[in-house]
Chains A and B, each alone.
Chain A
Amino acid sequence: MAIIETRNLIYDYSQGTPFELRALDDVCLSIEEGDFLGIIGPTGSGKSTLVQHLNGLLRPVSGQVLLEGKDIWAEPAKIRQVRFKVGMMFQYPEYQLFEETIYKDIAFGPKNMGLDEDEIDKRVREAASFVDLPQACLEKSPYHLSGGEMRRAAIAGIMAMRPKVIVLDEPAAGLDPYGREAIMGQIRDYGKETHTTVVIVSHSMEEITRWTNSVLVLDKGRVLMAGPTEEIFSQAAKLEEIGLTIPQISKVFMQLRAQGLDVPANVFTVEQAEREVLRLLAKKS
């Protein structure tokens, strides 16, 4: 079942001024429940604008945003409730931590939801464990934590709201390779265990191919392609055309195919490449 849909979504910046700019043009997307969707596109393609429509931070100029089949703007006064169901985290979220302790900061979301103390406590501890934040960390001030720990605390703050959908804008930005691997793994595990739909926006094609099972490609405010990750990355040439850098492995296999070798088009991770090469070598001998 589609948990979030947009129908003919149009959004213009600076509407009514001489600087009016169409940021999203007739965007139709449908995200299945439990999916791990990656949204990619060159800078300025409208990715951030699109995701801000999913939790009602931005209101479409025309078109609809549907959550579980219902238009989120049917009752504009209640739009805050949508944000508890569609949790969203922006880039470098550690800069938004403000409470005296990590515990209180993670509890911010649940508190805004009006939950009681016991429920809040349960959720805070649960969220902290999803991101491998030790219970001892909870009583520390956010400013006594490392960058990576602060990042995880911010993600926990979203998870504690137990949203149906979690939208993350470049969750691994600025982290070192190990940190990136760790955080993406935690997000994937969280999604699986809690049956939460995950949407990430990322510029790293390597990350997208490694973790997502569906991809939406935006270009100049329009949907260029949408579908299973494998399908999208089999069309690596199209992605390169709009200015995206495809994974090194994709490039290697594109070069091999250009040289006339019979290798499949849908290889873009190291694991796949290893399997393929060994298979082909075995076939030869």
Chain B
Amino acid sequence: MISDITIGQYFPAGSLLHRMDPRVKIVLTFVYVIMVFMAQNVYSIILVSALLVLMTVLSSISFKQIALSLKPMLLVIIFTTVLNLFIVEGDYLFVYHFLHISVQGIQTAASFAVRFCCFIAGASLLTYTTSMSSLSDGLEKLLMPLKRFNVQGDVIAMIITITLRFIPTLIEEIEKITNAQKARGADLESGGFFQRVRAHMPIIIPLFISSFRRADELSNAIECRCYAVGKARSKLHQLRLENKDFAAIVIFIVLFCLLIFLNIVL
């Protein structure tokens, strides 16, 4: 059913990556992305690619699924690769009128393509192995030190939780309202872009109104359950760093240094 769609799909499993602390996963994914962008030569690119393969193996996510994660960005990858191929100047291998492909062009294009794929795949691994509520918990804890700068991590986490909880409900509601308006002859398919947008107003307006009503009722409900912004609250699931988390941190620190070394030396 359409309401089964969840954003950033999560595949529950018991792999090592799944069981890691979400804070560590978020930070290390961030570090990984930086490493991908920093990889300038062949060896460092091999390093980040190998790291991706290692993480995939430890995640029980199939390589096919990783490949599928690239699908939405395929066009962008192809487009930029081709662009790089033809734009970069250097030792020309192929010239046809104003089009030229150089050795450097091929190198740049390949480097970009591989790194972009690593970036997308790495980020996807995070959402594949971490449930939304874990991510939200992790984010909340990570943002805690920013409280002195008025960044309320717990409120942000609450907003994320509630938003995610209501996505399937809202999708169902959109279906209901759409059917109701179609039953009165609403024509949602014909006409140009603007006509179709206008035709969707009978769906958008009731959806907005009902969302405000929901928010009002929900705020009453959470108030009755003693929720108050800024108040100290505990959590059912406590996050705790374990050996595997420390090991991962150490490995990443080592690889990061190795990357810098490779960049300097080569």
Contact = CB atoms under 8 A, between A and B. Distances in A.
Q: Do chains A and B touch in the complex (CB under 8 A)?
A: yes
Interface of A: 13-14, 19, 52, 55, 57, 80, 83-84, 87-90, 93, 95-98, 108-109, 112-113, 143, 157-158, 161
Residue in A19, A96, A109, A112 with the greatest tally of chain B CB atoms within 10 Å: A96
Interface string B178-206: 01111111110000000000000110011
Nearest to A113: B185
B226 interface: no
Contacts of A84: 185
A158 B210 CA distance: 21
B: contact size bracket: 10 to 19
A88 B183 contact: yes
14 contacts: A19-B1, A57-B179, A80-B187, A89-B183, A90-B176, A90-B179, A95-B209, A96-B177, A98-B205, A98-B206, A108-B185, A113-B185, A158-B184, A161-B184
A157 B184 contact: yes
A83 B184 contact: yes
A114 B185 CA distance: 10
B187 A112 contact: yes
A52 B179 CA distance: 9
Contact of B180 (A19, A93, A113): A93
A87 B181 CA distance: 11
Given A14-B1, A95-B210, A98-B206, A83 B180 contact: no
A52 B181 CA distance: 13
Contacts of A93: 180
A89 B181 CA distance: 9
Contacts of B206: 95-98
A89 B176 CA distance: 11
Contacts of A57: 179, 182-183
Given A80-B185, A83-B182, 8 more contacts: A57-B183, A83-B184, A90-B179, A90-B183, A96-B202, A98-B201, A157-B184, A161-B185
Nearest to A58: B179
Contacts of A95: 177, 206, 209-210
A143 B184 contact: no
A112 B186 contact: yes
A162 to B, nearest CB: 12
Nearest to B205: A98
A44 B206 CA distance: 27
Contacts of B181: 96, 108
A87 B182 CA distance: 10
Interface in B154-194: 176-177, 179-187
A52 B182 CA distance: 11
Nearest to B183: A88
Nearest to B210: A95
B167 to A, nearest CB: 19
B220 to A, nearest CB: 18
A158 to B, nearest CB: 7
Nearest to A48: B179
A109 B185 contact: yes
A158 B184 CA distance: 7
A14 B205 CA distance: 29
B173 to A, nearest CB: 8
B226 to A, nearest CB: 29
